[in-house]
Amino acid sequence: MKEGYELVYKRPATLLDTRMHYCPGCFHSTLHKLIMEVVEEMGIQNDIIGVSPVGCSVFAYDYMDIDFQQAAHGRACAVATGIKRTLPEKFVFTYQGDGDLAAIGTAETLHACNRGEKFSIFFVNNAIYGMTGGQMAPTTLEGQKTTTSPYGRDPKHVGYPLKMAEIVSQLPGVAYCERVVLDTPANVRKAKKSVRKCFEIQQKKLGMTFLEVVSNCPSGWKTAPVKTLDFVKDNMLQYYPLGVKKDVTAEQN
Ligand X SMILES: Cc1ncc(C[n+]2csc(CCOP(=O)(O)OP(=O)(O)O)c2C)c(N)n1
**Short-list 211, 54, 35, 235, CA closest to 139:** 235
Beta strand 91-97 with 67-70: parallel, antiparallel or unpaired? unpaired
Q: Choose between 60 and 83: whose C-beta lies nearer to ligand SF4.
A: 60
Q: Which residue is nearest to ligand X (CB)?
A: 97
Among the residue ranges 63-71, 91-99, 156-164, 197-205, the one whose residues contact ligand X (CB under 6 A):
91-99
Beta strand 243-247 with 174-181: parallel, antiparallel or unpaired? antiparallel
Establish if 99 lies at the interface with ligand SF4 (CB under 6 A): no
**CA dist., res. 223 & res. 231, Å (int):** 10
Binding mask 35-64 for ligand SF4 (x = CB under 6 A): ---------------------x--------
Which H helix or E strand runs over 227?
Answer: helix 225-231
Burial 112-145 (b: 16+ CB within 10 A, else e): bbeeebbbbbbbbbbbbbbbeebbbbbbbbeebb
Among the residue ranges 21-29, 59-67, 171-179, 180-188, the one whose residues contact ligand SF4 (CB under 6 A):
21-29
CB of 87 to ligand X, least distance (A): 26
**Short-list 212, 54, 216, 56, CA closest to 126:** 216
- Choose which of 31, 131, 136, 213 interacts with ligand X (CB under 6 A): 131
Q: How far is CA 5 from the centre of its chain?
A: 35
Amino acid code (one letter) for 197:
K
- Choose which of 101, 217, 232, 236 interacts with ligand SF4 (CB under 6 A): 217
Establish if 182 lies at the interface with ligand SF4 (CB under 6 A): no
Interactions with ligand X, residue window 207-226 (CB under 6 A): none
Query: Which partner from the list ligand SF4, ligand X, none does 12 bind, CB cut-off 5 to 8 Å by kind?
Result: none
Residue ranges that bind ligand SF4, judged by CB under 6 A: 22-23, 26, 28, 56, 126, 130-131, 217-220
Return residues touching ligand X (CB under 6 A): 54-57, 73, 97-100, 104, 124, 126, 128-132, 137
